[in-house]
Structure 1
């Protein structure tokens, strides 16, 4: 079951993205949020911290919680795990499933996922298409004992919406590694670039809130189309 502060943060995020606070440019006060959600001050503050970390709001001591200006261009939010459907909200996003099957973890994957060799994994390879042009190739491994069911319909939409809203997974944190590589022939063909063109690579190791790794993923982005946003808060 999702932690309460995350449910509140998700609710406020939907309201922010839906334009509920566009006129005032600020959230209700902490006291109003405590009353509206009927939770403790500590729970509200954790929810607010999550919105701050997502780059959606900033706090001014004694004045309130204000909306941050939206980016002029759509970018990939490095601090988010919600995927393209959440980051590129103004774009038309399509997904082509290239492969989806169950396999057993070999020694390398078992070491990365901290599981036994032979553990059942879902393997998914997807081509993400933005505004009718190839944008990225996503390769993911999910532990089947944590994500017991995946099909093409789920993988063609937002996998993370399914994990959070349907499976109620309490996702905690992720390590991200960013680098550049030259694309191979197969990737070049999918992304419609030249062989050995550069590609932006983001590799994720994603954990539940208890620290259990449940996903490894690698995204290969078209070098001319991907822009990364990392909003930093100084405390």
Structure 2
């Protein structure tokens, strides 16, 4: 992961402009094994930061570098490009941006109904529920409702939730997202939510329901987030499309 981070930083600092050096050159530069270089390249390719061209090498995705306020939906593996800024979904927003959070609710409770189903746990299982309004450069970004299994995240407080929760649980509990499921749809906001974000009830929003998994495929977090920022771009990278 460290090599992938270093290559990412060199791309964003324009040390690599169009194409990555060859595998042999990267091995020599970073003094690591071929497997380590290939693993790093796979990480960057999975995010869409580079593209493989068979017989030619690895080319840098210029579309990402030119984009601003970019939410990288595939960035689930801990890479933090300097150009981007992490938000609570472990996705990336341009580093010139500033994300702030206002905590609305933080409850020590138990999983129920759909939340228990998403977290694949019993309805009596202890969880944290955190609801917060998030702002990008002082403008409304989203309303986030997130749930964390206390088995994996035994402690949260309001100060932690004002910042990046995922950064905290990575440092404190060594927890990182191995994979995630995202479900996106257009919704209209409820009266209760409208009051929190100073919008009219029934106003449109992009809703993302997400489940984050550990390496053993256990879910440790799920969330429902309504996005309101009209300038935000959602980016997905797909290596293969399966047609029926």
Question: Smaller-chain TM-score range?
Answer: 0.7 to 0.9
Change (3 A) 1:185 1:15: farther
- SS class of match (2:4): helix
For normalisation by structure 2, the TM-score amounts to: 0.81
What is the RMSD computed on CA atoms of the aligned residues? Answer: 2.5
1:1-235 mapped onto 2 (5 Å cutoff): 6-17=1-12, 19=13, 21-22=15-16, 24-69=17-62, 70-81=65-76, 83-84=86-87, 86-222=92-228, 224-233=230-239
The DSSP-based 3-state class of the residue aligned with 1:95 is: strand
Distance verdict in 2 for CA 1:195–1:106, change over 3 Å: closer
Deviation of 1:28 (Å): 3.6
Indicate how the Cα distance of structure 1 residues 35 and 159 shifts in structure 2: closer, same or farther if over 3 A, else same. farther
Tell me the residue number matched to 1:3.
none
1:145-197 CA distance string (max 9 Å, x none): 11222222322222222333443224211111001111112322333332201
Q: What SS class does the counterpart of residue 66 from structure 2 fall into? A: coil
Unaligned runs of 5+ in 1: 1-5
Report if aligned partners of 1:125, 1:139 keep a CA contact under 8 Å in 2: yes
Distance 1:77 1:188, change over 3 A: same
Contact 1:191 1:222 in 2 (8 A): no
Shift in CA distance, 217/11, structure 1 to aligned 2, threshold 3 Å:
farther
Structure 2 unmatched runs, 5+: 79-85
Structure 1 residue 143 displacement after superposition: 0.8
The C-alpha deviation readout for 1:110-159, integer Å capped at 9, x for no partner, is 22211233211111111110121111011110111112222223222222
**C-alpha contact (below 8 Å) 1:135/1:225 kept by paired residues:** no
Cα–Cα, structure 1 residues 207 and 79, in superposed 2: closer, same or farther, change >3 Å? Answer: same
CA 1:21 to 1:63, structure 2 compared with 1: closer, same or farther past 3 Å? Answer: farther
Farther-moved stretch of structure 1 (81-90 vs 220-229): 81-90
Shift of the alpha carbon at 1:210? Answer: 1.1
